[in-house]
Structure formats: structure tokens, C-alpha cells
Amino acid sequence: MKLKTVAGGDTDTGAFTLVEMLVTIAVIAILAALLFPAITGVREKANDTKCVSNLRQMGAGLMLYVADHDGALIPGAVASQEGGLTLWFNALDAYMGNQEEGNLSNFASGRRPAWQRCPSKVFKETEMDHFSVGYGWNYYGDNAGHDGFGLYPGDYNADGSSSGGHGGSSRLAEVTKPAKTIIIADSKDIDVAPSATHQNIYLYPPPATGQRASRHSGRGNYLMVDGHVESLPPDLEGYTSYFIKAQ
């Protein structure tokens, strides 16, 4: 930017030259290019931290549920007396501090409780439905020979009674490897087809790598039955088809 002296000795500031403007724009572009990855990394780290916090809260809520239901874990789904299904996140909602009128777990909108939403898995408002959840339940969970956490027959309903072969759940005491058994985790990434939205609320077993999350720097977050959370790659190497770590 050139300066020129006018009568009386005052200095008059002139306009930027074209070269100066181009240099300034180039410097700004370089700075933006350097800062953008850092900003993106900070945002992703914050999303990952929030996701882990959600899962830990679910683990705490799950233990409250177990205490209220004679040691029984939440079933993946159970037929309600009014018809339809009560899904695992419906049952958990009451233990997650939801004080609002009605069961927000059933809302096909952004009003869905924050604990059900992984911040790195964002649904479009027009795509929201009852299954628009960021986390999946261990559909194939197995322990002590029972089809534990999923929709398949189990020994007990949520109230501790016999399941009658449908909508069953397991008792916490039956989980032989609580620190190595996944129960809730990031569900499949956002590219779930409309005909397969159940993939948003359940986990599907290895080796179906494409049906598991990799949205946290190529990994997903997994809640174990004992309440701790692990970051794991989508191939879940070392885990059985029941989401139990073999060794």
C-alpha cells in the first residue's frame, strides 16, 4: 500500500494495489488451508468425546434398569400390550433423565433425546423415523448358551418372567465376560438404506464389516457390559459373531 505526502505535511493513505490485494488473499488462503485440518480435528475429537460420554451414560442407565428388573438386561425388543414393539432404547429412556412429557424415543424428529444421537451421525430432518438412532443394541449377544441381548428367544423378559421364546433378555449375572462383551455401540454410518433402517438400532455380527461404524477417525465406540467404552476398528478382529472378545 503506497503512501503519499500532500500539502501541509499530512500523509494520505491510498488504496491497495492489485498486487497487494492478491498477496493478501494468497496469505489468507494459505492460513485457512493450514488451520482447516486442525479445526476439523478438534471438532471430531469433541464429537468423539461426546459419543463416548453418551455410551457411558447408557451403561449407567442400564445398570439402574437391571436393578429395577430383578437382574434382567433390557431385551432388544418386546411386544407391548398395546400392540407394536417396545425397543431397547424405549425401555432405557426412562433411566436417562428424560423428564419431558411422552416418550421422545418415538419421535421422528430432531427432538429425539440427545443421548440417542451420536454427534458424528447426523440425520436429515426428512429422513428421521422411529429408527433414527445413532447407537445399536447387540442383536446377537450370547452368554451361557442363551440368545442373550437380541430379538431371539431368551430365558427372561424385562420383568424377569419367562419370555415364552420371544423378545427375550438375559440376566446380568449370566454374562461370563462382562469386560469383553459388547452391548451397545455406534450403529452403522449414515448410508443406511430406507429399507434397512433397523441397522440404525442393532449391531450385526462379524465379518459384516460394512454394517459397522467407522465415523470416529476410522473407528467406532463400543460399550461393554461392565460399563467401560472402547474404540475399535470396524472389522472387530478377535470378536466372535456374538460380539464377545475371544481372548
Span of 57-61, 106-110, 129-133 with lowest mean pLDDT: 106-110
The pLDDT, as a whole number, for residue 191 is 66
Label residue 102 by pLDDT band (50, 70, 90).
very low
Higher-confidence residue: 149 or 220?
220
Half-sphere exposure at residue 201, Cβ-oriented, CA atoms within 13 angstroms: 21
Q: Where are the domains of the chain?
A: 15-232
Higher-confidence residue: 198 or 191?
198
Share of the chain above pLDDT 70, in %: 63
pLDDT digits (tens, 9 = 90+) for 39-62: 666 678 899 999 999 999 999 999
